[in-house]
A and B are shown apart, each in its own frame.
Chain A
Amino acid sequence: MCVSSGPAILARGIGKSFRQRLVLNSIELHVERGELIGLIGKNGAGKSTLLRILTGLIPRDRGEVSVLGMDPSVAAKRIRERTGYLPGETSVYQQMTGQQFLDFALSFYPRRQTALLDDLLDIFALPLQQRVRNYSAGMKQKLALIASLSPDLDLYLLDEPDRALDASIRFQLRDVLLRMRNDGRTFVLSSHHLSEVETLADRLEFLLDGSLVAPQVIAKARARLQRLVRIKLTQNAILPTNCTVLTKEADGTMILEPIDAPLDWLKLLPPSSVCTAEIGIARLEDLYKLLLAEVLA
């Protein structure tokens, strides 16, 4: 558990390029101790690069970073003594048995959370005496998760922890992470399962095009979403012109942005032409799509 004070992670203006390609641009991140942060972004957005910089696996080009009060470029080993890291690509030794891999992975840490380890072994029900090469992708991910979460540490950086896991296991994993968070552990995790991250995270950070989206931009996008209308019209209904169609799904459901107030706009439609209508969109997926569209624009 944490003994020193201050935020778990404080990053200011982190920049990173790979062969002239800018991957991260002026990242500002503040994570308090005991917080669980969800990192969202499309593939190649720089999520893994950011997590690798925080663990000291790769150096940053610019900016200041403090993880548990230490600079990863100076004290990477000391940071990793208190930080669990789950790589984005499942990395487990194929020639070992599951038990051998766990023994190997946990041997690097002086303390482990025995009760949690037992719980995870119960939940995941892995055949630990089998060689890892015989495991499925999901089983390998479970093994990597046990190895990353079981050490008794302050901070956990998890790159797509729910990858290759089925829904029931993802829910159980969510409960485990919440329990650990309630015990005061800090988490930064990236995921593509937006709805689950939303229910799990204290706060979401959107990493788009190499930059974290500023809170005011997110607030503005959320406000805009409140003005959108999700609507499904009857077959021959005519759509009024004073709106913009943002998306149209296969079943005919549309997301629209009316020029006027949404309620006034809805009143323009004859009730008989509306199958379903809903003002204001709260889904994270839609917020993400909107932010993505704005950033790309």
Chain B
Amino acid sequence: MIALKTWREIRVMSLMYLLLFELLLVPVILLWPDFYGDLRRSLPSMFKALEFTKRIGEGISNPDEDFAYRNWLAVMLYFRSINLVGIAGAVLLGTALFAREREAQTLEFLLSRPVSRIRILWEKSWPTALCLVAPIFLANWSAILWSRHIDIVVPFLPLTLASLHGACFVMSFLALTTLVSVLCRVQAHVAFWVGGFTVLQIGIYLIPRVRRYSLFRLSDFDWYAPIVSGNHGLIDMFDPVGHAGLTTYLVLATVLLYALALRALQKLEL
């Protein structure tokens, strides 16, 4: 019943979230042929400004159009959509989970029902996770269909694996937001702390020398491009010592953050 209530509260947001993904996706796919032609003639100077944007520029202007297009998808689908819309969605939905209930004084009602706190966390978390993750997969799979309009075939598996990594990245932010939502009494405070943390990570990512310390390194072009191009498989993603094994750490971080959220919820005194 808690899961159904959570689903009812966020289903519209999930739909809007999918719509937003599609709005960000469709133009960048359909405009690709013209854009690629321009890129081949002259790479815009903004790509040459930073070391990592230079790499992106080289990737999306590659003479092999299929390869260039997959790099383009890696930038647009993941680096842009997931890191922007996905994280925003995780913060938006996550802040409401517990802090809003505390603010509205309904948490005491919920906690005093004959239901364990682990079940409350579970029944609030899985519909939220589903609402966040499903649009990522659906929007990315729709890229396969949209790409046919410009006569480019995008294989299903690499796109799905990249979506899986993106979903894990977003889930880790949702887990972090859930933890902060349990700890804070006011929803705006959760948004402040997690939003502030995210902005800090973006800031670090844009400074060349310290870029490697940003969490966004876990979800950027350098990670997605090889997966979308089919150079890494599922096993590589979960190989903790391999280059592509970052997914493992995202899963571990998510589990750890949820464990901390549960501990905080069990110790919560109203």
Which A positions have Cβ atoms within 8 angstroms of B? 18, 52, 55, 57-59, 77-78, 80-81, 85, 87, 89-95, 104-105, 107-109, 144
Contacts and interface: CB of A to CB of B under 8 A. Distances in A.
Interface in B104-136: 104-109, 111-116
Given A57-B108, A87-B105, A91-B109, 9 more contacts: A52-B270, A77-B114, A77-B115, A78-B114, A80-B113, A80-B114, A91-B108, A93-B104, A105-B109
A117 to B, nearest CB: 17
A249 to B, nearest CB: 37
Nearest to A78: B114
Interface residues of B, number: 17
Given A52-B270, A58-B269, A104-B5, A91 B114 contact: no
Contact of B270 (A58, A93, A109): A58
A92 B114 contact: no
Nearest to B116: A77
Contacts of A104: 1, 5
Contacts of A58: 269-270
Nearest to B107: A91
A93 B113 contact: no
Nearest to B2: A104
A100 B9 CA distance: 13
A87 B5 contact: no
B112 A92 contact: no
A78 B116 CA distance: 10
B112 A87 contact: yes
Contact of B109 (A52, A77, A87): A87
Given A52-B270, A104-B1, A104-B5, A94 B104 contact: yes
B7 to A, nearest CB: 13
Contacts, number: 51
A108 B1 contact: yes
Nearest to B267: A59
Contact of A92 (B106, B107, B270): B106
Contacts of B108: 57, 87, 89, 91
A57 B112 contact: yes
A81 B114 contact: yes
A92 B104 CA distance: 8
Which one of A78, A91, A109 has the highest number of Cβ atoms from chain B below 10 Å of its Cβ? Answer: A91
A109 B106 contact: no
A278 to B, nearest CB: 44
B9 A57 contact: no
Given A57-B108, A58-B270, A90-B105, A109 B114 contact: yes
A259 to B, nearest CB: 49
Nearest to A16: B269
A108 B115 contact: yes
Contacts of B105: 87, 89-91
B270 A57 contact: yes
Nearest to A153: B114
Contacts of A59: 269
Contacts of B106: 91-93
Contacts of A92: 106, 109
A177 B114 CA distance: 22
A224 B107 CA distance: 44
A80 B269 contact: no
Contacts of B269: 18, 58-59
Contacts of B109: 87, 91-92, 105, 144
Interface in B144-199: none
Contacts of B107: 91
Interface in B80-112: 104-109, 111-112
Contacts of A55: 112
B113 A108 contact: yes
A95 B5 CA distance: 10
B111 to A, nearest CB: 6
25 contacts: A52-B270, A57-B111, A58-B269, A58-B270, A59-B269, A77-B114, A77-B115, A80-B112, A80-B114, A85-B112, A87-B105, A87-B108, A87-B112, A90-B105, A91-B105, A91-B107, A91-B109, A92-B109, A93-B5, A95-B9, A104-B1, A104-B5, A108-B113, A108-B115, A109-B114
A87 B113 CA distance: 11
Contacts of A107: 1
List the 3 closest pairs (A to B, CB-CB), nearest first. A91-B109, A80-B114, A81-B114
A96 B108 CA distance: 17
Contacts of B114: 77-78, 80-81, 108-109
Contacts of B113: 80, 105, 108
Interface in B199-239: none
A81 B111 CA distance: 12
A257 to B, nearest CB: 42
Contacts of B1: 104, 107-108
A75 to B, nearest CB: 11
B200 to A, nearest CB: 30
Contacts of B5: 93, 104
Nearest to A94: B104
